[in-house]
Chain A
Amino acid sequence: MSIFGFHYNLERKAIGLVLGIIIVASIGGLVEIAPLFTIHQTVEDAPDMRLYTPLELAGRNIYIREGCYACHSQMIRTLRDEVDRYGPYSLAVESKYDHPMLWGSKRTGPDLARIGEKYSDQWHVAHLNNPRDVVPVSVMPAYNWLSTTELRTDDLSLHLKAQRKVGVPYTDEMIANAELDAYGQSNPDSPQADGVGKRYGKDTHVRAFDGAPGELTEMDALVAYLQVLGHLTDAAAKPIAQAGGGK
Chain B
Amino acid sequence: MMVAAVFYGLTTFEGSFMAIRSVNSLSHYTDWTVGHVHAGALGWVAMITFGSIYSLVPWLWKRDSMYSAAMVEAHFWFALAGTVVYVFAMWNSGIVQGLMWRTYNDSGTLAYSFIDSLIAMRPYYIARAFGGLLFLIGGCIGAYNVWMTIRTSGTAEKTGDLPVPRPAGLSAQPAE
Contact = CB atoms under 8 A, between A and B. Distances in A.
Query: Do A and B make up one complex?
Result: yes
Interface of A: 73, 77, 79, 81-82, 84-85, 104-111, 135, 137-139
Interface residues of B, number: 18
- B interface, by DSSP: helix, strand, loop or mixed? helix
B110 interface: yes
Given A84-B110, A137-B119, A79 B102 contact: yes
A106 B29 contact: yes
10 contacts: A81-B103, A85-B110, A105-B28, A106-B31, A106-B33, A107-B29, A109-B114, A135-B115, A137-B115, A139-B118
A79 B29 contact: no
Contacts of B119: 137
A193 B102 CA distance: 44
Interface of B: 25, 28-31, 33-34, 97, 101-104, 109-110, 114-115, 118-119
Nearest to B102: A81
- A interface, by DSSP: helix, strand, loop or mixed? loop
A122 to B, nearest CB: 20
A105 B29 contact: yes
Contacts of B104: 81
Given A81-B101, A105-B29, A137-B119, 9 more contacts: A81-B110, A84-B110, A85-B101, A85-B110, A105-B28, A106-B29, A110-B114, A111-B29, A138-B115
Contacts of B97: 107
A135 B113 CA distance: 12
Given A79-B102, A106-B34, A85 B114 contact: yes
Contacts of A109: 114
A69 B152 CA distance: 48
A84 B104 CA distance: 10
A107 B30 contact: yes
Contacts of A81: 101-104, 110
